[in-house]
Chain A
């Protein structure tokens, strides 16, 4: 718009100048010349003003002082956009363009798994899978409210008879109450564990996510709900979230499998309410300590006659040292209640307590010798309860202890790209299903 006005003024200026020259050539009176000169001066002044406005809009203004922030007053609530920006010399409180307030990102990973079933009781795994491609879209409505979403495409090809899925991993709205406390509502990944919140492939070791967080927590765990998060004190943060509960099956081949209790906010029916609370300590640079409790009021859902509660406790440490050494350790445990009135006892599946833990030391270092990026070496030891009991119809799969030892490497040629290799050695002395031992390869990226 400013450009249009500028062009019109320039055109008018040239027309006036041309007329003036013509009139002069034809010997017009001095009064008329004075009027023409006045018009020329007026046009020049308007052009100068328009140029100044144009420079301001593009940030190329000459010699205009920077405005400083002023505390946000009541009338500024709801005003769109940032009130300060160093990108232009003088930007007043005006809404940023839609594109500036919308962000796009994503991550993805390709896996190749080659493992042998132990003792011949389990089939071998030999597969290549674009395991997931996740696209993030976020939008800031104004400076105190925003939307975020992640859509996940799993296993490449969705449809009848295909392995793939399209899933809404998260889609929430957030309002800032003040600088330290925030309200969020929608479908959200629950703040529990390490990988449930942070699982881009460049952020963890190993091609596959560890079994403890995948099966016990169970990551990635998305529920619908509402709650608050924020800061209690510097370095001490909290989450408090009421959400839809699990609906763990109590019969069939997935009976008492926690992971099968996730409804993924997909027309989830008959879910009872649950509540989660978490404290996270991050006051020491490089260190995260966290403790989470999740209470399920009725973990089998409300459509059956069983009323049994459960709770999850989870705690972890994630530490990085400037030498390149790192350590992750996590413990998670479910306690599942029974309903005697319905003769329901999770102990039938050995599921009165379902737990797992792991420890993962690692070392990350710059590659020299002209090879770009960093290499990370890791070992991980996991113990976790997993259901086991064969595939016969009606077989009760009881939880038995599994151990997994993994060793491998990540190469980050640049921080947002990773190539991975690891060997996994699984053992379960009392297992009927057997275990998987072999090699995994993977690549991942985020942007």
Chain B
């Protein structure tokens, strides 16, 4: 194929791709869910009451020692569910960018589900797929979640997967130390 014909073919393909409506949506961030949507998915009809929880220095230290992960923030973005569970918002760093998470814990502190609200990395967007997130269901603070053991990583996104796992371990111990008796 001569060069001019080939170049025209490429240009017309991309023009068609644009015409297929790829650009019909406004440009928008990689926001997959809003907080409201995540709450409905994870807790359905339960009433969620925002609850102010500030971690004390002692609690932060205890969580760090139990999970092995530093606690960077004192205030939890937490809602208590009418059934006794908790809806939490959290943020971990992937490889270079932040990942925004929503976590549902049962009344006994086990993971009911997690949802990815925002994922900004170029690779590893599959963390938001149901099958990958389902790996976390049922874990409690009694068993450490390990990457490529209890939760398998995604090729090219090992750091993102690892940091989500570390974040979940931190959250589980946060429930045990700070939320269990609230």
Instruction: List chain B residues, Cβ under 8 A from A99.
Output: none
**Residue-by-residue, is B23-41 near A (CB-CB < 8 Å gives 1, otherwise 0)?**
1011111111011100000
Determine if A273 and B34 form an interchain contact, defined as CB atoms under 8 angstroms apart: no
Shortest CB distance A261–B (Å) = 17
Q: Is A291 an interface residue (CB 8 A)?
A: no
Residue of A nearest to B14 (CB): A242
State A291–B131 Cα separation when bound (angstroms). 22
- Known contacts A69-B35, A69-B36, A415-B162; is-contact A143 B100 (Cβ 8 Å): no
What count of chain A residues pass the 8 Å CB interface test?
Answer: 71
The residue in A146, A177, A298, A307 that gathers the most chain B C-beta atoms within 10 A of its C-beta is A177
The residue in A69, A175, A286 that gathers the most chain B C-beta atoms within 10 A of its C-beta is A69
Determine if B31 and A177 form an interchain contact, defined as CB atoms under 8 angstroms apart: no
Of B1, B10, B28, B30, which contacts A242 at CB under 8 A? B10
Q: Is A364 an interface residue (CB 8 A)?
A: yes
Shortest CB distance A244–B (Å) = 12
Q: Is B3 an interface residue (CB 8 A)?
A: yes
Q: Is B148 an interface residue (CB 8 A)?
A: yes
State A285–B131 Cα separation when bound (angstroms). 7
Determine if B155 and A77 form an interchain contact, defined as CB atoms under 8 angstroms apart: no
Of A85, A142, A320, A324, which contacts B91 at CB under 8 A? A85
Determine if A177 and B25 form an interchain contact, defined as CB atoms under 8 angstroms apart: yes
Residue of B nearest to A226 (CB): B14
State A283–B152 Cα separation when bound (angstroms). 12
Q: Is B82 an interface residue (CB 8 A)?
A: no
Q: Is B153 an interface residue (CB 8 A)?
A: yes
Shortest CB distance B20–A (Å) = 10
Determine if A285 and B3 form an interchain contact, defined as CB atoms under 8 angstroms apart: no
Of B56-64, B104-112, B122-130, B174-182, the stretch lying at the interface with chain A is B122-130
**Residue-by-residue, is A276-309 near B (CB-CB < 8 Å gives 1, otherwise 0)?**
0000001111101000000001100010000101
State A228–B17 Cα separation when bound (angstroms). 10
Q: Which residues from 1 to 26 on chain B have a C-beta closer than 8 Å to any C-beta of chain A?
A: 1-3, 6-7, 10, 14, 17, 22-23, 25-26
Of A230-238, A349-357, A387-395, A403-411, the stretch lying at the interface with chain B is A230-238
Q: Is A429 an interface residue (CB 8 A)?
A: no
Of A4-12, A17-25, A59-67, A125-133, the stretch lying at the interface with chain B is A59-67
Instruction: List chain A residues, Cβ under 8 A from B28.
Output: 72, 77, 143-144, 176, 178-179
Interface residues on B, range: 35 or more
Shortest CB distance A311–B (Å) = 12
Determine if B27 and A286 form an interchain contact, defined as CB atoms under 8 angstroms apart: no
Q: Is B156 an interface residue (CB 8 A)?
A: yes
Q: Which residues from 93 to 114 on chain A have a C-beta closer than 8 Å to any C-beta of chain B?
A: 103-105
- Known contacts A178-B28, A285-B135; is-contact A138 B35 (Cβ 8 Å): no
Which residue numbers of B lie inside 8 Å of A, CB to CB? 1-3, 6-7, 10, 14, 17, 22-23, 25-32, 34-36, 50, 52, 73-77, 89-91, 95-98, 100, 117-118, 120, 122-123, 125-126, 129-132, 135, 148-156, 158-159, 162
Which residue numbers of A lie inside 8 Å of B, CB to CB? 59-60, 63, 65-66, 68-72, 74, 77-78, 82, 84-89, 103-105, 136, 138, 140, 142-146, 148, 174-179, 181, 194, 197-198, 203, 228, 231, 234-235, 237, 240, 242, 272-273, 275, 282-286, 288, 297-298, 302, 307, 309, 318, 320, 322, 324, 364, 415, 446
Q: 8 closest pairs, A vs B, by CB? A: A286-B152, A143-B29, A86-B77, A69-B34, A103-B96, A285-B152, A288-B155, A86-B89
A-B contacts, 5 listed (Cβ < 8 Å): A86-B76, A143-B28, A242-B14, A272-B3, A282-B154
Knowing that A82-B118, A235-B131 are A-B contacts, what are 11 other residue pairs whose CB atoms are under 8 Å apart, sorted by A's residue number? A65-B50, A72-B26, A86-B77, A105-B95, A178-B25, A179-B32, A194-B155, A234-B130, A272-B3, A297-B3, A318-B155
